[in-house]
Amino acid sequence: MTEQLRTVNIRLFAVVAMIFIFVSSGAFGIEDMVGWSGPSLTILMLLALPVFWAMPMAMVCSELGSALPEEGGYYAWTRRAMGEFWGFQCGWWSWTCQWVDSAVYIALVQGYVATW
């Protein structure tokens, strides 16, 4: 039995906002960057990083998601392509990365609260 995938229309602004948030975590933590490199280089990096880092990843995920529509995302794709061991490694390191990334946000919020 094949399931029909639901299609969703997303506006261009929403896609750009999602890419910006996923790549640079929104506007959190860029205050030091402006002081160190200047505002023009900071804006250039915040505009270039989503294009050169997130856009290829987004295209890979959209292509694989349409070619192999199974739950699990890149864990499932890695497991299918390279076997159980590397699928587990992909899932494990992705999960670990999310924990570390969440800890960074907690430290940023704590820094903001301390300055208030």
75-88 confidence digits (pLDDT tens): 898 999 999 999 99
pLDDT tens across the length of the chain (116 residues): 556 767 778 888 888 877 776 666 655 667 777 788 888 888 888 888 778 877 888 888 888 888 888 888 888 989 999 999 999 999 899 888 888 877 777 777 777 788 77
Q: What is the pTM of this model?
A: 0.56
CA distance 22 to 68: 23
| Burial zone of 90 (CB within 10 Å; 0-12 exposed, 13-18 middle, 19+ buried) | buried
pLDDT given for residue 85 in this prediction: 95
Average pLDDT of the residues of the chain: 81
